[in-house]
Structure 1
Amino acid sequence: MVTGRNASCKNVDKVLEELSDGCDICLEMRDVTPLLLIENGDQYYVNVRGIIDRLRLLDVQTLVQSRFGVECARLFKVIIDFKYIGERQLGEICLMNLNEVRQCLYTMMNENYLEVQEIPRSVDRDPHRTYYAWYVPWIALHEKVLCSMYNCLGNLLERKQLILTKQEELSTQLPTSKSKAGQRENLDAQLQMANNALAKVQVAITKLLHQIMLHRDF
Structure 2
Amino acid sequence: MQKQRAVESVTLERFGNAACRILKLLQARGKMDERQVSRLAMLPMKDTRELLQALSLHGFAELQEVPKSADRAPARTFFLWYVPIDKCYRVLSRNALRALANIRQRRQEEREKRGALLAKSDRLDVKENASLLSEGEHAMLRELQATLYRLGRAEMDLVELIIALQ
TM normalised by structure 2 equals 0.85
- Pick the structure with greater CA Rg: 1
Q: Aligned partners of 1:114 and 1:169: how far apart in 2?
A: 49
1:65-214 equivalences under 5 Å are: 65-172=12-119, 184-214=134-164
- For these two proteins, the number of residue pairs brought into alignment is 158
> Where in structure 2 are there 5+ consecutive unaligned residues?
none
> Where in structure 1 are there 5+ consecutive unaligned residues?
1-53
% identical equivalent positions:
24
Q: Aligned partners of 1:158 and 1:171: how far apart in 2?
A: 17
Tell me whether 1:62 sits opposite 2:9 in the alignment.
Answer: yes
Measure how far apart 1:213 and its partner are: 0.9
Q: Aligned partners of 1:106 and 1:69: how far apart in 2?
A: 14
What is the Cα-based RMSD across aligned positions, in Å?
2.2
Match of residue 165 from structure 2: 215
The answer (yes or no) to whether the contact 1:166–1:194 under 8 Å persists in 2 is no
What is the identity, as a one-letter code, of the residue corresponding to 1:193? E
Q: Aligned partners of 1:214 and 1:172: how far apart in 2?
A: 37
Match of residue 36 from structure 1: none
TM normalised by structure 1 equals 0.66
Deviations 1:166-201 (A, max 9, x none): 44322345799xxxx9x9222222211111111111
Deviations 1:52-80 (A, max 9, x none): xx221111111111122222111111111
Deviations 1:89-141 (A, max 9, x none): 11111111111001011111111221101112233322123211111122322
The answer (yes or no) to whether the contact 1:160–1:198 under 8 Å persists in 2 is yes
Per mean C-alpha deviation after superposition, the further-off stretch among 185-194 and 75-84 is: 185-194
